[in-house]
Amino acid sequence: MSTSIDKSAAKSLSVQAIVFAEIIWAVLALLFFLLFSVAEPGQDRPVWYSYGTSVFEVVAFLAAAILCFRNWRSPQIVSGRKVWFGIGMGMLCYFVGGVLFTFWETYLGRDAAVSPGDFFYVPAYLFLGWGMVMAFADRRLNLEVWQWGIVAGIATISIAFATWLTISPEKTASADLFGIEPVSAQTIATPAKPTVKATQVAPKPGSQTPKVQPLVPQAVPSPQTAPSVLPFVLRAAPVKSEEQKPPAWVSAIEDTLAPFKTFLDYFYVMADVFILIVATTLLLAFWGGRFSQSWRMIAAAAFSLYIADMWFKYATARLENYQSGGLLEIFWVLSGVLFGIGAALEYDLSRSRRGGRRQA
């Protein structure tokens, strides 16, 4: 009896440790984004910040992939092994895609609108969507009318927002999430030129031969002269070196991937909308049940992934010279964290259910 209690306590402690570690990782990532995501006016974000955001993201997805594969290897898992195999493969592909994306954008300094990471991002969405569909493929969905209404409402809003982002995007002034413009976009006030007032010196009284004195120009500053801020702006402006020419193989990859940009833009938008709808359906289908906790986390993870992708789509399409690392990109980290927590909760609930049957 004591042995079973000790095993149960060890299992619960293991799950608690995993959930606690995931939460700590999310909090550290949030603090990192809040403290360093806003660059000084006229300056780019430092390179170490870009690497830091990438580390938080890829570690979260790698941990989620490991936890999902643990569920896939367990014959006791309730939702089905195919479900967690698909989600795990999606997390693994997202991890590899994030590593390649960081190498392409941060290390090589290239435009990451289309990068080698897309070779793994595309199958990541396919695996993720397939795994989530398999969760109810063999089950009959018995949703109430109001639940179908929620699904339809979320589908309508997400599709409308994605359509607005995709159709006829227009570039706006360069600004980050907080509306801070760089120095190059600000208007520099130049001092007005001083006006010259001519004065004539009158001859002294009693002089016989008055001489006409030459005009003496006197500089009278204009009362509306603005203070000069040019030296401060010049000191704050960064000194940019000449852009180095990329290697031949980098240019070849860019030329090869450039025609796929439009297709990838539409694919990611449709994939995000589809995954969000499926996650909402699963959340409502398992609502109130014993295993609803894990699917709540999965639904929240899908929603976080949707927010991060839509923000990146908006920033790259409508903001000029956007750099990765904006504050809303924290939702990518939260997505990986929530997928990992959902997998850990599913594993613990499945094992406890199996143990309860054995005792009975």
pLDDT at 239 over 60: no
What separation in angstroms does the CA of 31 have from each of 36, 48, 64, 195, 322? 8, 15, 21, 54, 21
pLDDT at 1: 46
Q: Could you count the other beta carbons within 10 Å of the beta carbon of residue 354? A: 14
For residue 161, is it within any domain?
yes
Alpha-helix runs per DSSP H in 167-215: none
Structure confidence by residue, pLDDT tens digits, 263-282: 888 899 899 999 999 988 88
Of 21-25, 174-178, 241-245, give the range with the top mean pLDDT: 21-25
Q: What is the mean pLDDT of residues 336-344?
A: 94
What gap in Å lies between CA 135 and CA 350, rounded to an integer?
A: 15
DSSP annotation of 345 reads H
Least confident of 131-140, 238-247, 248-257, 337-346: 238-247
pLDDT at 183 over 50: no
pLDDT at 148 over 80: yes
pLDDT at 147: 87
pLDDT at 26: 96
CB–CB of 328/307 below 8 Å? yes
For residue 213, is it within any domain?
no
Share of the chain above pLDDT 90, in %: 33
Q: What is the mean pLDDT of residues 318-331?
A: 82
Place of tokens 């894990």: 294
Place of tokens 């852009």: 243
For residue 287, is it within any domain?
yes
Alpha-helix runs per DSSP H in the chain: 2-36, 47-73, 81-102, 118-137, 145-166, 230-236, 248-257, 261-285, 292-318, 330-359
For residue 229, is it within any domain?
no
pLDDT at 175 over 60: no
Structure confidence by residue, pLDDT tens digits, 127-147: 999 999 888 776 777 788 888
Of 62-71, 133-142, 263-272, 343-352, give the range with the top mean pLDDT: 62-71
pLDDT at 10 over 60: no
Least confident of 102-106, 171-175, 270-274, 322-326: 171-175
For residue 238, is it within any domain?
no
For residue 178, is it within any domain?
no
For residue 114, is it within any domain?
yes
Structure tokens at 185: 């976009």
Alpha-helix runs per DSSP H in 138-220: 145-166
CB–CB of 183/42 below 8 Å? yes
Structure tokens at 312: 């990146």
pLDDT at 162: 82
Of 13-17, 98-102, 251-255, give the range with the top mean pLDDT: 98-102
pLDDT at 241: 45
What gap in Å lies between CA 42 and CA 249, rounded to an integer?
A: 32
- Structural domains counted in the chain: 1
For residue 248, is it within any domain?
no
Least confident of 96-100, 122-126, 185-189, 302-306: 185-189
Place of tokens 């406890």: 352
Of 17-26, 30-39, 76-85, 270-279, give the range with the top mean pLDDT: 17-26
Of 13-22, 53-62, 239-248, give the range with the top mean pLDDT: 53-62
Q: Which residue has the higher pLDDT, 148 or 210?
A: 148
Average pLDDT over the chain, rounded to an integer: 77
Q: What is the mean pLDDT of residues 10-17?
A: 70
pLDDT at 226 over 70: no
The range of the structural domain enclosing residue 287 comes to 11-171+253-359
pLDDT at 229: 46
Q: What is the mean pLDDT of residues 26-48?
A: 86
